[in-house]
Each structure stands twice: as C-alpha cells, then as structure tokens.
Amino acid sequence: MRVQVILPKLGMTMEEATIVRFCRQPGEAFRKGDPLYEIETDKISQEIEATQDGVMVSYSTAEGTDIGVGEPVCLIETDGAPG
C-alpha cells in the first residue's frame, strides 16, 4: 500500500518547517523508528521517524523547501494499513 507521509504538527504554534534532508533514498527500505527526514523550524531541529516498516518511493518536496503542516513530504510503500 502506498502512503503519503505528511508534515506533522510538533508544537502548538508550528505552522511550517524546512525540510533539511531526507534520511532515506528512493528504493531504500526502512524499519519503524528509523528516521525518514529531518526538519527545522524557528524553534527546533528534529528527525521525523517512520511509524511503520516500508520503502521510500519518492519525495513530494525538495530539501531546503519550506512546507506547511499537513502538506505531503514523501511517498512510502508499506505492507499494511497506515500506522
């Protein structure tokens, strides 16, 4: 099943973040808890972890891009229901 990963809201005032880097390349497998990408806001810098096992399919945005909470970051392939 393909799942669109969206930018989570990590704080009460967070509205957007910069995608600093992707930790997985397209085609690369990952496990639940592995970092998928790193973000930076005016208050934090944090790696966002996978909520389930899968494979990175593609990026929905580029490194260095600012995106809003709820916007797509990447597309992953999983074996089960969204985690």
Residues contacting 63, CB < 8 A, separation 6+: 19, 20, 21, 22
Q: What is the CA radius of gyration of the chain?
A: 12
Give tens-digit pLDDT for 20-72: 999 999 999 999 999 999 999 998 999 999 999 999 999 999 999 999 999 99
Task: Write down the pLDDT at residue 71.
Answer: 98
Give the residue-averaged pLDDT of 1-18.
Answer: 94
Model confidence, pTM: 0.90
Residue 82 predicted with pLDDT over 70: no
CATH number corresponding to 2-78: 2.40.50.100
Task: Write down the pLDDT at residue 49.
Answer: 97
